[in-house]
Structure 1
Amino acid sequence: MNFFETMPIWMKAGWVFFCLAVFWILEGYYALVVKKYKKWKHAKVNMLLLVLVMIINAVFGILTVGIFVWLDANQFGILHLFDLPVWAELLLAIMVLDLIAQYGVHYLLHQVPSLWRLHIVHHSDKHVDATTGTRHHPLDFILRESFALLAVIIMGMPISFYFFYRILSVLFTYFTHANIRMPLWLDKTLSYIIVTPNMHKFHHHYQLPWTDTNYGNMLSIWDRMFGTFSYENVDDIQYGLDISDHTDDENFGVQLRIPFNKRVVSKKS
């Protein structure tokens, strides 16, 4: 775990682009949806949003170092109440982070009208592929990072656990959004435990009720536990979002302004 605690920034950034590149290449050979579109042009707005996300992530990392030091010095948090093996503490920390910083905040982003407007940017993508995983409005991402920090404080976890979780989260983000077709039996089997490409694609269907299902990022157990799991015929999925399909999903400025665009009328309001 010391490796993740001292992992240099260039290596963390490299991991992001490595995972993105791997799934970008796989999409060319094992596509789930074979549809002609200008892939590089489509990627442009998502990559620009990725730059903003990485800047926010770096700033949060700097600002929260003091919190990790305080947690360790004061032995604050659930993990300090029990004497567990490191692997058990790590597993528990990842599960809580996945529940609060992924499933929990994602659920709120869909159910709270003002937050939903921030999240529309992610769902407005009409060609979901690996780059869609990086497509978040800056305010959306700041909210996600705030919930991750809440989970860190509740658990009192060391910074190495948090960094390890971030590494896993990046992998799953590109894996679940990638336009790849896995054997149906394998995808369905894995979906009992983890979020799979097919499973997450239902969440990107252009209208309800599928839009409000499958909130998980890594573990699918939360969707199954809270009744938000869905797995139907993947060929029936249509990407985009009915309330924002009239906007240009490949225009960076348009996407940044969507939360404040009165022409995008939220069904949640």
Structure 2
Amino acid sequence: MNEIIAYFSTIPSSHRSLILIGGITLFWLIENAFPLFQMKYKKWNHAGLNFFFTFTTIIVNFILAFILIQTANWTTEHHFGFLNWLPEIPIALYTIMGLLLLDLIGAYLAHFVQHKVKFMWRFHLIHHTDTWIDTTSANRHHPGESVIRFVFTTFGVLLVGSPMWMVFLYQSLSVIASQFNHANISLPVKLDAFLSYFLVSPNMHKVHHHYVLPYTDSNYGNIFSIWDRLFGTFTSLPKEHIVYGVDTHMQPEENNKLKNLLHIPFQESRSAKNS
């Protein structure tokens, strides 16, 4: 455990980039070999669009990173936040508790709120317009959503009292988890179901990308599935019933054109349909 802490305390930016690129490459190869769905689409064109949003996400996080670093350092120096108020506990338990809470605030809560607050949904909608969910879909976030997610992550670091090494560890796990649960991977049904009791599995997250309510408003988790199960937002749907996208933007010119995707948050909103 000490080796992990030491590594993530000084992790180079190049290594963080390798985690992002390595994860996409790994799951890209796996989903090509063992696809969940045989999707007829131009994979490289689709990836190019999603890579643009991945790049803008990196830029937003890079520009705002000093805020996150200052927040983590402040909580450590002033012994602020949940972890700093605990009695001394084993470092492994300390780490697991920190990661769970960061996932709760930075991922689950951020995701839940974006579905419930209208102006935030306008930005998050771009992620849901993807009608071909694969590992490149993981970082398909409008720059505006990247800012929103950053705010929740920073708020999480403040409340949890996370040291910077834990923030870097959390972000690395979050990237890999998102690439994994978006990947077009066919896992044995029983294995996927077993994983979903602890982690957000591919089949579990694919339900969230079904094109109509109430499925769109479920399975908000990213790393850990405990929050969906605890707060009653977990649901399931046989994979043969899943249709990707969002019912308000199912036309290719709306969901597969960069210019329109960037403009969606500023267009007249449309009401989703229940199913």
Aligned equivalent of 1:84:
89
The aligned amino acid for 1:37 is Y
Deviations 1:95-129 (A, max 9, x none): 11111111111111111111111111000001110
Aligned-pair RMSD on alpha carbons? Answer: 1.3
Aligned equivalent of 1:105:
110
The aligned amino acid for 1:163 is F
> How much identity, in percent, do the aligned residues show?
37
The aligned amino acid for 1:207 is V
Shift of 1:65: 2.1
Map 1:206-245; keep pairs closer than 5 Å. Answer: 206-245=211-250
Mark the runs of 5 or more structure 2 residues left unpaired by the alignment: none
Match of 2:165 among 149, 160, 174: 160
Farther off after superposition, 253-262 or 234-243: 253-262
**Are the aligned partners of 1:44 and 1:250 in contact in 2 as well (CA < 8 Å)?**
no
- The answer to whether residue 239 in structure 2 is matched with residue 205 in structure 1 is no
Runs ≥4 in structure 1, deviation > 6 angstroms?
A: none
**Are the aligned partners of 2:213 and 2:272 in contact in 1 as well (CA < 8 Å)?**
no
**Are the aligned partners of 2:218 and 2:234 in contact in 1 as well (CA < 8 Å)?**
yes
What is the TM-score with the length of structure 1 in the denominator?
A: 0.96
Aligned equivalent of 1:9:
13
Aligned equivalent of 2:70:
66
What is the TM-score with the length of structure 2 in the denominator?
A: 0.94
Alpha-carbon distance in 2 for matches of 1:236, 1:65: 44
Mark the runs of 5 or more structure 1 residues left unpaired by the alignment: none
Alpha-carbon distance in 1 for matches of 2:110, 2:68: 19
Farther off after superposition, 169-178 or 246-255: 246-255
Alpha-carbon distance in 1 for matches of 2:17, 2:127: 21
Matched length: 267
Shift of 1:226: 1.0
Alpha-carbon distance in 1 for matches of 2:68, 2:173: 20
Shift of 1:249: 2.2
Aligned equivalent of 2:120:
115
**Are the aligned partners of 1:206 and 1:242 in contact in 2 as well (CA < 8 Å)?**
yes
Alpha-carbon distance in 1 for matches of 2:264, 2:32: 31
Alpha-carbon distance in 2 for matches of 1:77, 1:179: 38
Shift of 1:46: 0.5
Alpha-carbon distance in 1 for matches of 2:207, 2:160: 32
